[in-house]
């Protein structure tokens, strides 16, 4: 109904422009009428075109008459009618018959319309409005325009269904649409196939298709643990840049959970949101043995912020905090905001930490600075006293630059300051300075790159038992050489729109040496605190297939797509020391043999990835993964994944969506443990979606521990959804 308001404003502008038609005793059957100076249309610089079987001007009555297939056009608007009259004396415009007004993509059809284009008042009989953006149909037996953006509609209906007999509609005796986009309804009835199912004696709702303050459609559900669930929400459109949603949710066994989400868009460079929820949980109070790490008062807090400053500095924040380890298990949509999520498994099922971070970054042509803080909340421990937090870490990087302007010698530098903090346990500060010198040389088809790295690492540490209080340092270096080359060949072809195919072979061989340095007195915060001794050779081979596709209708313009990438590699150590990463045990000189194959179609419909890590000492695969996914323009989707990790897991997962018809989709997913011959979880369901409504139903069966849930979502296009679980 709001679109009727907006488009009527455009109608008024159009009608005002008709006022400027040139006077004359006879007007041709077709006329392009220039605007008179000083008129509203003249100011806008618009021209009116009129077509009719019979068109004339009555100078004495000051009336313009058009009759028989009347067509009036003006910049994006077109009016069709059997008959039309413009009365200059009364500033009125009337049209009769099969009246159809098209304003770009929206339509107004009626039997009769009359407007005073100066006062912006008028009436429409037997009117029907179509708003294409939301597919809204609004009808009224009698529509009165009371002023700018204010209407009375009698015997009104509203629906988004195209069928003559709508699947659903709202019928009311009277609607008063106020200036600002609010509708006051008297005696409203919600009907399905013209059968009344819900009566509303009086109500207020937003009729604006833009953001408007008002209540959202409620949700209802049930579960054994929570009891009867009702979800309500109130949306407050504070202004164009800010809004707030308040959502009280009632759980008959737990209590009332209060929640709020505030969103803001200050400008094109600044946006974000803040959310919070709280519940005084009766289940925790009555069954404390099931919640060893939770108190009765439970809460969650989330925030996201992204901003780009005028000097190019980027600010980003992502905060996720909960009161206890079980909060996300009881309320899995806390940070997702989705009442139903058919195929996705929530992170809380596999993650052991919630991460919050804040980043500020600034880049120049050859330098960049990053300041980052990370906070980890355990989802396993009772508290976070022993969690190691990074508050903050400052990184200064100088990118590859020539030494004294030379084109054969380059340097880069990275300096990092890290502050590690925790309430209980070792903590401290670390300064790491890491300069690198490289000298790339071209020898025919080969590129040889000798390099030298220096590293100075200093610590200021403290611990609860004073074991490592004080300062420590480590000085080390790395040196080596890398040899690489690229061999390529281009083939002419005519396959699937491709005219050229590029095949490359990219071999690489490198040697790296790192001396043995005593690090026994250093703290252990992360991977950088222990640098293993190295003397090893690494080889790798990468092969690619890249297709070239001419752009239709454009000469010498092409698109490129990497269709296949295959890589293999291995490392060999000349020393007997394990580094805990590639060389797992002493006296094992060869690392695992690594290989990976990726294939994808041009438009991303088909994707395949195979990965393998083979242990040459046990002649066994340490890791194998296989992923195949495909989708098409119709909406068919299939994803199959197999993952094997030695002595850890062997899992098969699959998910699929199959549109049987334009109005019915089937979907499902499965997680299967091959090692245990055990199905962990299955989800299957259907989505029935005719033109103006949809019904989504699914069954989710988890077996460890066993849990069976049914999910249902009824959505009415243009109004929202109603769900149960």
Domain boundaries, the chain: 2-212
Q: Retrieve residue 614's tokens.
A: 């083979």
Q: How confident is the model at residue 46 (pLDDT cuts 50, 70, 90)?
A: very low
Mean pLDDT rounded to a whole number for the chain: 82
Q: What is the mean pLDDT of residues 553-576?
A: 92
And the tokens for 561? 């797509």
Q: Most distant CA pair in the chain: distance in Å?
A: 112
How does pLDDT run across 5-33, given as a tens digit for each residue?
333 333 333 333 333 332 222 333 444 43
Q: Please give the residue that has the higher pLDDT: either 282 or 86.
A: 282
Please determine, for residue 355, whether its predicted confidence score (pLDDT) is greater than 70: yes
Q: Residues 132, 138, 144, 150: is their CA dihedral positive or negative?
A: negative
Q: Which two tokens stand for residue 74?
A: 């003006």
Most confident of 213-217, 415-419, 702-706: 415-419
Whether the full predicted model's pTM is greater than 0.85, yes or no, is no
Pair of tokens at residue 679: 């199905």
pLDDT tens string 131-183 = 776 677 888 898 887 876 677 888 888 888 887 788 888 888 888 877 655 66
Q: What is the pLDDT of residue 149?
A: 62
The pLDDT assigned to 11 comes to: 39
Per-residue pLDDT band at 413 (split at 50, 70, 90): very high
Rounded Cα–Cα distance for residues 615 and 588 (Å): 11
Across 468-477, 543-552, 570-579, 696-705, the highest mean pLDDT is recorded for 543-552
Give the pLDDT score at 263.
Answer: 93
62 vs 435: which has the higher pLDDT: 435
- Tallying the residues shown for the chain, one arrives at 725
Compute the radius of gyration of the chain from its Cα atoms: 35
- Let me know: does 639 contact 628? Beta carbons within 8 Å: yes
Strand stretches in 422-579, DSSP E: 427-438, 441-443, 446-462, 470-485, 487-495, 498-514, 534-550, 558-573
Strands 214-223 and 195-206: unpaired
Q: How high is the pLDDT of residue 587?
A: 79
Better pLDDT: 628 or 79: 628
Query: Tens of pLDDT along 532-564?
Result: 999 999 999 999 999 999 998 888 899 999 999
User: Which one of 2.60.120.10, 2.60.450.10, 3.30.565.10, 3.30.2290.10 gives the CATH number of domain 2-212?
Assistant: 2.60.450.10
Pairing of strands 297-308, 270-280: antiparallel
Number of H helices, E strands in the chain: 4, 43
Instruction: Please list the residues that pair with 206 across neighbouring strands.
Output: 182
Count of CB atoms situated within 10 Å of the CB of 405: 7
| Candidate from 365-374, 520-529, 582-591 with smallest mean pLDDT | 582-591
Are 83 and 70 in contact by the 8 Å Cβ rule? The answer is yes
The model's confidence at residue 468, banded by pLDDT at 50, 70 and 90, is low
Task: Read off the tokens for 131.
Answer: 């708003």
DSSP string, 280-306: E-HHHHH-GGG-TT--SEEEEEEEEEE
């Amino acid at each position: 109904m709001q679109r009727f308001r907006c488009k009527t404003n455009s109608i008024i502008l159009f009608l005002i422009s008709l006022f400027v038609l040139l006077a004359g005793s006879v007007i041709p059957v077709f006329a392009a009428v220039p605007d008179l100076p000083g008129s509203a249309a003249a100011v806008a610089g618009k021209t009116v075109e009129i077509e009719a079987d019979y068109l004339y001007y009555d100078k004495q009555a000051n009336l313009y008459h058009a009759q028989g297939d009347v067509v009036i056009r003006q910049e994006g608007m077109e009016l069709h009618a059997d008959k039309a009259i413009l009365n200059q004396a009364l500033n009125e415009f009337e049209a009769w018959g099969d009246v159809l007004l098209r304003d770009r993509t929206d339509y107004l059809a009626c039997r009769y319309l009359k407007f005073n284009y100066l006062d912006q008042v008028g009436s429409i009989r037997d009117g029907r409005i179509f708003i294409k953006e939301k597919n809204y149909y609004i009808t009224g037996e009698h529509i009165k325009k009371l002023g700018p953006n204010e209407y009375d509609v009698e015997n009104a209906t509203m629906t988004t269904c195209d069928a003559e007999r709508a699947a659903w509609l709202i019928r009311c005796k009277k609607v008063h649409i106020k200036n600002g986009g609010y509708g006051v309804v008297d005696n409203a009835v919600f009907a399905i196939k013209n059968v009344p199912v819900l009566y509303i004696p009086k109500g207020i709702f937003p009729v604006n298709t833009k953001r408007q303050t008002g209540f959202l459609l409620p949700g209802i559900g049930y579960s054994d643990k929570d009891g009867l669930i009702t979800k309500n929400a109130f949306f407050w459109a504070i202004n164009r840049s800010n809004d707030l949603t308040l959502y009280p949710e009632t759980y008959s066994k737990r209590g009332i959970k209060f929640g709020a989400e505030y969103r803001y868009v200050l400008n094109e460079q600044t946006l974000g949101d803040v959310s919070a929820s709280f519940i005084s949980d009766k289940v925790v109070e009555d069954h404390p043995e099931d919640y060893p790490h939770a108190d009765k008062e439970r809460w969650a807090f989330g925030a996201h912020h992204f901003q780009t400053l005028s000097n190019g500095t980027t600010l980003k924040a992502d905060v996720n905090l909960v009161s206890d380890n079980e909060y996300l298990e009881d309320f899995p949509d806390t940070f997702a905001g989705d009442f139903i999520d058919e195929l996705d498994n929530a992170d809380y099922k596999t993650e052991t930490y919630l991460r919050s971070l804040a980043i500020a970054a600034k880049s120049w042509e050859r330098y960049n600075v990053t300041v980052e803080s990370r906070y980890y909340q355990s989802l396993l421990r009772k508290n976070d006293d022993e969690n190691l937090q990074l508050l903050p870490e400052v990184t200064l990087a100088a990118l590859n630059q020539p030494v004294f302007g030379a084109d054969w010698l380059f340097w880069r530098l990275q300096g990092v300051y890290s502050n590690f903090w925790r309430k209980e346990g070792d903590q401290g500060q670390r300064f790491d300075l890491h300069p690198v010198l490289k000298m790339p040389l071209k020898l025919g088809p080969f590129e040889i790159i000798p390099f030298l790295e220096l590293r100075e690492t200093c610590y200021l540490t403290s611990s609860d038992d004073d074991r490592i209080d004080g300062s420590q340092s480590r000085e080390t270096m790395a040196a080596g050489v890398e040899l690489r080359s690229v061999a390529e060949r281009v083939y002419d072809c005519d396959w699937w729109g491709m005219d050229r195919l590029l095949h490359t072979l990219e071999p690489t061989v490198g040697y790296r040496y790192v001396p043995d340095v005593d690090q026994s007195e250093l703290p252990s915060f992360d991977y950088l605190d222990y640098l293993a001794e190295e003397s090893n050779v690494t080889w790798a081979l990468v092969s690619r297939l890249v297709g070239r596709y001419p752009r239709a209708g454009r000469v010498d313009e092409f698109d490129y797509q990497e269709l296949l990438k295959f890589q293999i590699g291995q490392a060999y150590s000349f020393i007997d020391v394990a580094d805990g990463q590639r060389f797992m045990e002493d006296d094992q000189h060869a690392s695992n043999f690594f290989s990976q194959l990726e294939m994808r179609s041009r438009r991303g419909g088909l994707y395949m990835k195979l990965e393998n890590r083979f242990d040459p000492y046990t002649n066994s695969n340490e890791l194998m993964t296989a992923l195949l996914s495909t989708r098409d323009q119709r909406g068919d989707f299939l994803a199959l994944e197999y993952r094997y990790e030695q002595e850890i897991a062997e899992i098969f997962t699959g998910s699929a969506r199959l549109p049987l018809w334009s109005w019915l989709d089937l979907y499902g997913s499965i997680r299967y443990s091959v090692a245990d011959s055990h199905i962990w979880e299955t989800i299957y369901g259907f989505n029935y979606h005719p033109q103006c409504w949809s019904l989504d139903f699914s069954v989710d069966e988890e077996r460890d521990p066993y849990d069976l849930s049914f999910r249902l979502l009824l959505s009415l296009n243009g109004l929202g959804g109603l769900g149960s679980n």
